[in-house]
Structure 1
Amino acid sequence: MQVLVSGANGLVGAALLRRMVSEATVQPVAGVRELASSNLLCEQRAIGDLAIGRVAAEVLRGVEVVVHAAARVHVMQEHEQDQLAAYRSVNVDGTRALLTAAALAGVRRFVFVSSVKVNGEISLPGKPFSEADAASPQDAYARSKWEAEQVAQAFCERHGMEWVVVRPPLVYGPGVRANFRRMMQALGRGLPLPVGALHNRRSLVALENLVDFLFCCVTHPMAANQQFLVSDGQDLSVAELSQKLAVALGSRSWLVPLPSVWLSAMLNMIGRGAAAQRLCGELRVDSGKARTLLGWKAPQGVDEALDGTVRHFLREAQP
């Protein structure tokens, strides 16, 4: 079975391809913007720039399943004046272009990697997000993902193609960047972090666990035409996560117990309201549907996954 993964050079896409290379029943194909030498260890096909909105059906000839992991993700220092248009050009129009090519090529299943941010930014205490909850995207990125989900589902239903939507929370693992990497850098240097009193719990998903679940969505017949939330199954507070990372780093953590109300107010004062929400709010998901419907179980525990993340980070940091 040929499976094409878009976003093949990204964190999730590259890890999924590495997993599939070891599977005898799957022939992985890397969907890249343009052909180039890389360490993907499998066939590559150029799907072009999704922002342009054109994908040749020939690129998907022979492919049975597409895993669409390519996306325009959050930009820390956004320069686009119309952010929603910038996200839509890749995440919505690009998805539509890939779907059109998939239908023409006779693709059987389309797996769309979305985001828990489609559900919202904060879950209520004791009420983790579930697949039954109404969508509540709060920013341009989340809105574009929600629109892309709707495009994918409607398109597949019109053309007789199976669809699967997966909404992961924060993904961590070897090679992780952005805020998770910055946290490791700060803890590794022994810098004080004002998160000692942050006991709000948040769901995470280790890269290996997400890849395992996506592979399940590629192969499991019961995954067809379903939406899933997926996580490690062990939610952590920011304080707990920081402590575990500090232990794995072998550093002496200095977690200042600044009350969350104070921290949130300080971040809002300097225009970092979104960061305050991510740090101080609860965001939990219920991945029970993945376990009961597909019989899926996260193969990697949180401590093991964090240790692997830190080991990779330390190797990268070596001169």
Structure 2
Amino acid sequence: MTGPLIALTGATGFIGRHLVAELPKRGYRVRVLLRRPAEVPEGATGAVIGDIASPHNMAAALRDVDAVIHSAGLAHAMSGMPEDDYRAINTQGTLNLARAAERAHVKRFVFLSSIRAQSGPVAALPLTEADEACPTDAYGRSKLDAEQGLDALGIDWVALRPVLVYGPGVKGNMAALLRLAQSRWPLPLGSLYAQRSLLSLDNLTSALDVVLKAPGPLRRALIVADPEPLTVAEIVAAMRSGIGRRPGLVPIPSVLLRLAAALTGRSEAYDRLAGSLVAKPDALRTLGWQPVSSTRDGLARLAQSAQDSSSAG
């Protein structure tokens, strides 16, 4: 292959594994940057061992690289981590790598930030990049600090702020919701009307393709989300449609659900489930981004894939 060479961090993670497999299909060569010796992921053209927390010499890793996609970092699901750890890895680690990329004359630095750099887990109004960034936890603050640090460097950069990403191998809250959707029981979620924006792995990959090819300079943060937000009930219904089942959703009054959550110590989880978070990717679309799949179709395929994997196992 002779396409652009991309240096990718986080290649062994949920998003990174998908990018290693899919970016070559779009004409890119992928060099993965790994913290410790490991097998080179299928699809990568090479691998370099190093640690962005202390990049003594990243010259070899970034030699001849056209762009960096930085997807490694501490996830927000790692609750209880000290704020200093988030800052050391998500902020300083990002800036260490960006400075090394600038020294290596890399053309563009693509940072996978998060919608949590802009907002808490719920938002009363639809989010756009024009809104003031108001992160509410250490994870979100570390991502926003990294974005602001990038803006002080000379390298051309772009920070993608994805909402909750789903696809094969998803973990956390989306995996729990998928397990519920796979059950044969009716679910008391029919009265949850708040909408949530989601993002499929395929749509994230197409967004990365757009920002990698966009004429520069970019030097800004961009929200990335599937265009159509769904309610929790619609999310479950889409998943169940993928495995040939009816929605099976019962409209239990939300006050009873909130009480049940409080009695079982799950009030925070309920607030996230019942709260709204809609993010508008309009600025990204002005760069030419077109989603490759709808949310409903993506969720149906996710459920079908999970069922096929379960049957194969």
Normalising by the residue count of structure 2, what TM-score does the alignment of the two structures yield? 0.90
Instruction: Give, in whole Å, the separation in 1 of the partners of 2:296 and 2:180.
Output: 19
Distance 1:45 1:101, change over 3 A: farther
Matched position secondary structure for 2:30: strand
For 1:48-77, what per-residue CA distance to the aligned partner results, in whole angstroms no more than 9, with x for missing partners?
A: 33345656222111112111111110336x
Distance 1:271 1:46, change over 3 A: farther
Give 1:270 deviation, angstroms. Answer: 4.4
Deviates more, 1:207-216 or 1:144-153: 144-153
Alpha carbons 1:68, 1:113 under 8 Å: kept: yes
Determine the structure 2 residue equivalent to 1:58: 60
Determine the structure 2 residue equivalent to 1:190: 184
Paired residue for 1:71, among 67, 73, 92?
Answer: 73
Instruction: Give, in whole Å, the separation in 1 of the partners of 2:10 and 2:203.
Output: 18
The AA in structure 2 aligned to 1:305 is G
Give 1:244 deviation, angstroms. Answer: 1.3
Deviates more, 1:270-279 or 1:163-172: 270-279
For 1:212-268, what per-residue CA distance to the aligned partner results, in whole angstroms no more than 9, with x for missing partners?
A: 001111111156213211211111000111111122123455433233344334434
Instruction: Give, in whole Å, the separation in 2 of the partners of 1:264 and 1:222.
Output: 48
Paired residue for 1:267, among 261, 271, 276?
Answer: 261
Instruction: Give, in whole Å, the separation in 1 of the partners of 2:45 and 2:297.
Output: 31
Structure 1: 5+ residue stretches without partners: none
Determine the structure 1 residue equivalent to 2:142: 144
Alpha carbons 1:47, 1:56 under 8 Å: kept: no
The AA in structure 2 aligned to 1:308 is R
Determine the structure 2 residue equivalent to 1:108: 107
5 Å-filtered alignment, 1:1-319, equals 1-24=4-27, 26-52=28-54, 54=56, 56-75=58-77, 78=79, 80=81, 82=82, 84-120=83-119, 121-124=121-124, 127-155=125-153, 160-222=154-216, 224-268=218-262, 270-292=264-286, 294-318=287-311, 319=313
Give 1:35 deviation, angstroms. Answer: 3.4
Give 1:161 deviation, angstroms. Answer: 1.1
Alpha carbons 1:217, 1:223 under 8 Å: kept: no
Instruction: Give, in whole Å, the separation in 2 of the partners of 1:254 and 1:303.
Output: 17
Alpha carbons 1:175, 1:312 under 8 Å: kept: no
Give 1:123 deviation, angstroms. Answer: 2.2
Matched position secondary structure for 2:26: coil
Distance 1:222 1:106, change over 3 A: closer
Give 1:98 deviation, angstroms. Answer: 0.8
Matched position secondary structure for 1:21: helix
Normalising by the residue count of structure 1, what TM-score does the alignment of the two structures yield? 0.89
Structure 2: 5+ residue stretches without partners: none
The AA in structure 2 aligned to 1:113 is L
Alpha carbons 2:31, 2:48 under 8 Å: kept: no
The AA in structure 2 aligned to 1:283 is L
Distance 1:199 1:22, change over 3 A: same
The AA in structure 2 aligned to 1:4 is A
Distance 1:115 1:79, change over 3 A: closer
Instruction: Give, in whole Å, the separation in 2 of the partners of 1:255 and 1:188.
Output: 13
The AA in structure 1 aligned to 2:74 is R
Instruction: Give, in whole Å, the separation in 1 of the partners of 2:250 and 2:85.
Output: 38
For 1:161-216, what per-residue CA distance to the aligned partner results, in whole angstroms no more than 9, with x for missing partners?
A: 10101101111112212221222222212234332110101111111001100111
Instruction: Give, in whole Å, the separation in 2 of the partners of 1:153 and 1:191.
Output: 50
Instruction: Give, in whole Å, the separation in 2 of the partners of 1:221 and 1:262.
Output: 52
CA-based RMSD of the aligned residues comes to: 2.1
Matched position secondary structure for 1:221: coil
Distance 1:223 1:260, change over 3 A: farther
Instruction: Give, in whole Å, the separation in 2 of the partners of 1:255 and 1:55.
Output: 55
Q: Report sequence identity in percent.
A: 34
Instruction: Give, in whole Å, the separation in 1 of the partners of 2:196 and 2:217.
Output: 25
Give 1:154 deviation, angstroms. Answer: 1.6
Give 1:14 deviation, angstroms. Answer: 2.2
